[in-house]
Amino acid sequence: METIHTIEWMKQIVHAARASDRILGLVPTMGALHEGHFSLIRAAKQQCTQVAVSIFVNPTQFGPSEDFSKYPRHLDVDRAALHNLGVDYLFVPSAQEMYPTGFSTFVEVQGISDRLEGCLRPGHFRGVATIVLKLFEIVQPRFAFFGRKDAQQARIIRQMCADLNLDTQILVCPITREADGLALSSRNVYLQPDDRQAATALSRALAAAADEIKKGERDPARLLASVRRVIDGEPRVTLDYAEIVNAETLQPVTSTLHGTNYILIAAKIGNTRLIDNALIEQDGELFKLSV
């Protein structure tokens, strides 16, 4: 595995790959890698000739009161894991490399960025879209792999690629969970032992909605009521939002379920903020919920 620190070097690698007709896949990360990231890498290795992973803790997607300085950084451990997984290239640029003095251009995907996480974390998705576009321009991957846990982020990146006519195809992979249902996240390391158990309320709430759908419930308000009952039953969890939204528009679903939708949850457990979701897909009269 080759570790690359500069944009110029990364572009030289990319040009050589394209000249040899190699299919390059990219897994963008902020490091502190876990099995969720590894599942994306394995998917990339199945789809692509070569796989690049980027590790960059992007300062522009953190708000003033968020955890940029505390965000876990374990580069040596991450590098060893990526080597063992057979990753071809590790791109680890510095902040100065990605945002040199005088940097003044940002990307905004309006509409779907403005609510949910975008409302609670102003400027977050502007930072995400900007760094992802830069990575796509530098690495020029045929495919890029994102996790479904960050469903709103993945939808925004897909919209950006469509609007700007980018060649990179976005592939969204399933959520990876612990045995007790907790969705894997680099921020899980912040959880204290009592908070760690309480955090399973998010996946339990989604499972409760899944049970209601299996029983035939199609009313979004009643499904959300079952979600909130589980969350409210865990005193260590403070709900930021729980919504059922259309998977394309991310607008709330207020009538009977139809088409493809998400149940999206964000909550604080102690000092740690986590998100989770379930995908609801309609197939004729049947509904499938993937947690």
Mean pLDDT of 200-211: 97
pLDDT of the residue at 287: 85
Instruction: Among 96-100, 184-188, 244-248, 286-290, name the one with the lowest average pLDDT.
Output: 286-290
Count of CB atoms situated within 10 Å of the CB of 266:
20
pLDDT of the residue at 48: 97
Whether the per-residue pLDDT at 14 is higher than 90: the answer is yes
Instruction: Reduce the DSSP state of residue 149 to 3 states and report it.
Output: helix
> Of 122, 140, 291, 287, nearest to 202 (Cα)?
291
Whether the per-residue pLDDT at 133 is higher than 90: the answer is yes
What percent of the chain shows pLDDT beyond 90? 95
Q: Which long-range contacts (CB under 8 A, 24 or more apart) does 220-224 make?
A: 220/244, 220/252, 220/253, 220/254, 220/255, 220/257, 221/254, 223/257, 223/263, 224/263
Residue 124 and residue 67 in contact, taking contact as beta carbons nearer than 8 Å:
no
pLDDT of the residue at 222: 97
- Please report how the helices 7-19 and 124-139 are oriented relative to each other, as an axis angle in degrees rounded to 10: 50
5 is catalytic: no
Whether the per-residue pLDDT at 284 is higher than 90: the answer is no
Confidence of residue 139 (pLDDT cuts 50, 70, 90): very high
Structural domains of the chain, with CATH: 2-173 (3.40.50.620), 186-290 (3.30.1300.10)
Amino acid at 290: S
Catalytic residue among 37, 83, 124, 258: 37
Confidence of residue 161 (pLDDT cuts 50, 70, 90): very high
pLDDT digits (tens, 9 = 90+) for 95-123: 999 999 999 999 999 999 999 999 999 99
Residue 56 and residue 92 in contact, taking contact as beta carbons nearer than 8 Å:
yes
Whether the per-residue pLDDT at 137 is higher than 90: the answer is yes
Instruction: Show the tokens assigned to 62.
Output: 């953190």
177-212 b/e (C-beta count within 10 Å ≥ 16 → b):
beeebbbbbbbbebbeeebbebbbbbbbbbbbbbeb
Strands ordered across the beta sheet of 272-283: 237-246, 261-269, 272-283, 286-290
How many alpha carbons lie under 13 Å from residue 42 in its C-beta half-sphere?
Answer: 11
State the burial class of residue 76 (Cβ atoms within 10 Å of its Cβ: 0-12, 13-18, 19+): exposed
pLDDT of the residue at 34: 97
DSSP, res 196: H
pLDDT of the residue at 247: 97
pTM surpassing 0.85? yes
Strands ordered across the beta sheet of 89-91: 2-4, 89-91, 50-55, 24-29, 143-147, 169-173
pLDDT digits (tens, 9 = 90+) for 26-84: 999 999 999 999 999 999 999 999 999 999 999 999 998 888 998 999 999 999 999 99
